[in-house]
Amino acid sequence: MTRVLYPGSFDPITKGHMNIVEQASELFDEVIIAILQNPLKKSGFFTIEERVAIVKELYQRMNNIRVISGSGAAVDIAILNDCKAIIRGLRSLSDYDYEVQLQQINKEISNNQINTICLFADKEYQFVSSSTVKEVLGLDKDISRYVDPLVQERMLTKRRSFNNE
Ligand code: ADP
């Protein structure tokens, strides 16, 4: 049984992330999506609990996809959950620079136990990112090209709650 961990902020999960999850679930027996607090991205749009609820709902019918949350090092979560490797998605050269450093650090801090496998998003998702989705929403424009309808609905509801504060 080959289980892999797909860690990230997923604030929110986009069609680009979902494309990577789909590819990973075809390649491996089980994919665990780990929604982690990124210390560099302090306040999120959704709370971690909201992100977990959304992603769980999206994949409720997929029995080889699990969703967890956590804090700390992704490699520790991978080892704890018996994952063979970490999955990351690559879009562009700028992702590559960051990911290549991250995989080296993850390999070192896990004493060579955890390797990283990069998957490439299909071309229509190459320019989709959580931050641009939030920007487009902030401009009152349609985000349905970038996120699942469920995510769109939750984002609109959340934005209304911000506006009413
Ligand atoms: P992080 O804060 O760890 O970068 P993200 O949620 O932004 O978390 O991304 C998680 C992973 O998914 C990263 O490897 C990122 O490069 C990848 N990713 C994000 N958007 C896309 C996309 N549109 N296509 C492919 N991979 C993506």
For residue 131, give every residue at least 6 positions away whose Cβ sits within 8 Å of its Cβ, in sequence order, or none. Answer: none
SS3 state of residue 138: helix
Mean predicted confidence (pLDDT) in 100-114: 96
Q: Which tokens hold the place of 34?
A: 């780990």
Whether the pLDDT of residue 125 is over 80: the answer is: yes
Asked if 68 contacts 42 with a C-beta cutoff of 8 angstroms, the reply is no
- Can you give the pLDDT at residue 36? 95
- Can you give the pLDDT at residue 38? 78
- Does CATH place domain 3-163 in 3.30.460.20? no
Confidence of residue 163 (pLDDT cuts 50, 70, 90): confident
Residue among 17, 51, 88, 154 flagged as catalytic = 17
- Can you give the pLDDT at residue 110? 95
Whether the pLDDT of residue 161 is over 80: the answer is: yes
Task: Check if 23 has its Cβ closer than 6 Å to any atom of ligand 1.
Answer: no
Task: Check if 129 has its Cβ closer than 6 Å to any atom of ligand 1.
Answer: yes
- Can you give the pLDDT at residue 19? 97
Whether the pLDDT of residue 55 is over 90: the answer is: yes
* Active site (annotated) includes residue 25: no
Task: Check if 15 has its Cβ closer than 6 Å to any atom of ligand 1.
Answer: no
* Active site (annotated) includes residue 130: yes
User: Which uninterrupted H or E stretch holds 68?
Assistant: strand 65-70
* Active site (annotated) includes residue 61: no
Q: Which residue ranges make up each domain of the chain?
A: 3-163
Q: Which tokens hold the place of 75?
A: 């490699």
